[in-house]
Each structure stands twice: as structure tokens, then as C-alpha cells.
């Protein structure tokens, strides 16, 4: 079977083969001890580990089977479940709690008195995914039972530790603690071509030696090939599902955005159209109002002018009639006096008219 495509110098830690070879074998027990001691920050100092049966069937034949990646205990009898998980499961946290019950229940003393005293149980997950997207820098989760009111630890013998490896982004120059170095080695193992200068501790010398692909025997190579193929198949499936979900989400988002945009545009369009229509309607109404007002004003003006004209005409005619009447009466008086033989000079004295005016009245009657 050709293995030419295995061009990496070191194994991929996230494969089942690499994880169990480096952390789950007796020959490499010191690697796991070093990693756990750096993880626990001195809370526990592990001197030795004993690997236990990683397959648990439960207390009865009806109990659900549990298979741990690595299951061991230290010299004090404290239990450690160490798992490497490539992808998030729907009930990932439930699964962790379920697995933790097995090392608790197996501590029961069968067939004799027992006071329920338990040894500590640690469930440790090295995760190649993120389950907490709220804080991109918070990658080291340590969970215990606490009193929710006081915030104090209620029970310190049950601990869940989760390491979100994609969030660990320190460079080689930024590595400070042994724990930093372990996380860096685990995350970048298959990308490295030599042991980094920052990882010169003796334990890393063994780690990189055991991880070197060229040092694997034929049987180990075949197992690693199968494990790597399974990992790559899983990665391909996950990438395809992720891209498909992203595409479907994008299409749904676009459609929702279009619908929302149409609704928003319609609302704004109605508002703008109403304002524009109101403005245009006001201008048109003003123009029509002016025309109608002019026409109505013209009619009312004509009627009012006619009435005023009639009144003025009547007044003027009355005055003119009175004047003409007075003139006619004067003429008749002058004419009668003349016809009776009264001289014009005497008429002038009687009426007060001058002689020229008297002559004009007499001449107008001829």
C-alpha cells in the first residue's frame, strides 16, 4: 500500500492513532503526566499514572456502553478521562457528564460497608472546535459544581476541563508557561518540520521523537494511514456541510433581505410619494383655485359694478334731470316775462340773471 503522500514529518495529533499513541500508551506515560500537571497548574501534582480499561459497560447489561479515549488514575486513586474531540456534537456537554458518571459509580464498594467517600474525577476535553463563540480569547474552561448564589465551589471533586484549540493563537515567541508550550505543540504538530526552539524541554524531545512518522513501523504506518484517512474524510464532510449551510444561509438571508428591503422601500416610497403628491396637489389646487376665484370674482364684480353703476346712473340722472328741470323753468319764466313786454333789463333785475344769459334763453326758444 503506497504511503508516499504522507509527506509530513510528524503525525496529526487530532487523529485517533496519534492521540492514543502519544497520550494513551505506557511507553509515553510521561508525556501525559507532563501535560496534566501543566494543565492543573499545581492544583494536583501527578507523579505516576495507571492506565485503566477504557471500555465501560455499566453496572447491568442494560446500561449504555461508554468508550473513553484515555482513562487513567494517579497514585492517589484520582480518575482522569482524557478525550480528543474533532467536532462538536449536539449534546456534547451531556455526553461529558454521562461519561463522568462511570468513574464515580465504579468507586462504590461492593459487598461491604461504604461511607460514599469519593476520589476526584477529572474529565478533560481537547477540542478541535469552538463551542463558545462569545469570547474569541477564552479557550480554557474549567467547570465545577458551585453555589449559584455565593459563586463558591460546592463540590471540588468533580471537574470538567475543556480546551478550545482553535482559539489558541499564541506564536512561538509568545509562549511563556509549560501549558502554553503543550497547546502549541498539540495544535501545530503536523505543520512543523522540526522541534521549535521554544520547546527544548526533555519531555518535548520525547514527544517529537514519538510523533515522527519515519520512526513508525510498518504496522503503525498502516494504522496511521487509516486514521488519517478517517480524519480527512471527516474534515471533508464537515467542510462540505459547513459550506452548504453557509450557502443556504446566504440564500435565505438574501431572500429575507430582499423582502425586508421591498417592504422598507414600499414604506419609504409611500411616504415620499405622499409628500410629493401633497406638494403637487397643493400647487395644482392653488392654480385651479386662482382660476376659479378669478371667474367667481369676475361674476361678483360684474354684479357689484352693475349695481353700483345703476346707483351712480340714477344719482347722476337725477341731478342732471333736476338741472334740466331748473333750466326749463327759468327759460319759461324769462320767456313769459318777455312776452308780456317786460324789458330785458327789467327781467335781469327781477331774476338776477345777466342780460346775455337772458338773451341765450330767449334765442334757444326760437
Q: What is the pLDDT of residues 324-336, one digit of tens each?
A: 666 677 777 877 8
Can you tell me the distance from the alpha carbon of 188 to that of 364, in angstroms, rounded to the nearest whole number?
142
Residue 366 has pLDDT above 70, yes or no: no
Percent of the chain with pLDDT over 70: 88
Residue 73 has pLDDT above 90, yes or no: yes
Mean pLDDT, the chain, as a whole number? 85
> 350 versus 98: which is more confidently predicted?
98
What is the pTM assigned to this prediction?
A: 0.64
Q: Where would I find the H helices in the chain?
A: 16-23, 29-40, 92-105, 178-188, 202-211, 218-339, 344-351, 355-364
pLDDT in tens, 235-272: 777 677 657 766 676 677 667 767 786 778 778 877 88
Quick one: pLDDT at residue 246?
66
Residue 5 has pLDDT above 70, yes or no: no
- Sorted by where each begins, the domain ranges of the chain are 16-216
Question: In the numeric block, which cell numbers belong to residue 151?
Answer: 459563586
State the pLDDT confidence band at 61, using cuts at 50, 70 and 90.
very low
pLDDT in tens, 128-151: 999 988 999 999 999 999 999 999
Q: Which residues pair with 67 in a beta bridge?
A: 55
Residue 49 has pLDDT above 80, yes or no: yes
Residues whose CB is less than 8 angstroms from the CB of residue 12 and which lie 6 or more positions away in sequence, other chains included:
18, 189, 190, 228, 231
Pairing of strands 153-164, 121-127: parallel
Query: DSSP assignment, residue 263?
Result: H
Quick one: pLDDT at residue 241?
65
Residue 197 has pLDDT above 80, yes or no: yes
> 206 versus 283: which is more confidently predicted?
206
- Burial (CB < 10 A; 0-12, 13-18, 19+), residue 306, is exposed
Quick one: pLDDT at residue 176?
96
Quick one: pLDDT at residue 343?
83
Percent of the chain with pLDDT over 90: 50
Can you tell me the distance from the alpha carbon of 194 to that of 29, in angstroms, rounded to the nearest whole number?
23
Quick one: pLDDT at residue 4?
46
Quick one: pLDDT at residue 202?
96
Amino acid at each position: 500500500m503506497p504511503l508516499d503522500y504522507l509527506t509530513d514529518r510528524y503525525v496529526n495529533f487530532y487523529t485517533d492513532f496519534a492521540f492514543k499513541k502519544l497520550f494513551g500508551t505506557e511507553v509515553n506515560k510521561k508525556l501525559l503526566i507532563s501535560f496534566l500537571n501543566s494543565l492543573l497548574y499545581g492544583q494536583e501534582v501527578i507523579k505516576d499514572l495507571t492506565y485503566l480499561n477504557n471500555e465501560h459497560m455499566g453496572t447491568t447489561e442494560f446500561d449504555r456502553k461508554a468508550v473513553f479515549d484515555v482513562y487513567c488514575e494517579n497514585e492517589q486513586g484520582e480518575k482522569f478521562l482524557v478525550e480528543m474531540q474533532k467536532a462538536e456534537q449536539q449534546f456534547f456537554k451531556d455526553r461529558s457528564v454521562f461519561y463522568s458518571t462511570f468513574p464515580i459509580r465504579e468507586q462504590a464498594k461492593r459487598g461491604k460497608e461504604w461511607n460514599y467517600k469519593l476520589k476526584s474525577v477529572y474529565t478533560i476535553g481537547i477540542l478541535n472546535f469552538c463551542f463558545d463563540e462569545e469570547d474569541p480569547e477564552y479557550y480554557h474552561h474549567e467547570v465545577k459544581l458551585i453555589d449559584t448564589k455565593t459563586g463558591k465551589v460546592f463540590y471540588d471533586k468533580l471537574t470538567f476541563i475543556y480546551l478550545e484549540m482553535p482559539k489558541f493563537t499564541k506564536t512561538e515567541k509568545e509562549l511563556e508557561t509549560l501549558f502554553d508550550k503543550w497547546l502549541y505543540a498539540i495544535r501545530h504538530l503536523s505543520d512543523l518540520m522540526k522541534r521549535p526552539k521554544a520547546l527544548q524541554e526533555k519531555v518535548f524531545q520525547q514527544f517529537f521523537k514519538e510523533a515522527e512518522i519515519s520512526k513508525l513501523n510498518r504496522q503503525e504506518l498502516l494504522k496511521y494511514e487509516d486514521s488519517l484517512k478517517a480524519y480527512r474524510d471527516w474534515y471533508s464532510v464537515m467542510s462540505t456541510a459547513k459550506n452548504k449551510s453557509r450557502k443556504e444561509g446566504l440564500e435565505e438571508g438574501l431572500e429575507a433581505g430582499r423582502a425586508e428591503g421591498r417592504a422598507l422601500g414600499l414604506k419609504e416610497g409611500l411616504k415620499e410619494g405622499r409628500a410629493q403628491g401633497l406638494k403637487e396637489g397643493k400647487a395644482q389646487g392653488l392654480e385651479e383655485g386662482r382660476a376659479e376665484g378669478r371667474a367667481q370674482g369676475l361674476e361678483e364684480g360684474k354684479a357689484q359694478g352693475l349695481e353700483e353703476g345703476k346707483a351712480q346712473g340714477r344719482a347722476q340722472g337725477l341731478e342732471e334731470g333736476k338741472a334740466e328741470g331748473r333750466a326749463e323753468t327759468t327759460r319759461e319764466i324769462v320767456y313769459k316775462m318777455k312776452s308780456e313786454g317786460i324789458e330785458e333789463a327789467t327781467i335781469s333785475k327781477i331774476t338776477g340773471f345777466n342780460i346775455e344769459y337772458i338773451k341765450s334763453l330767449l334765442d334757444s326758444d326760437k
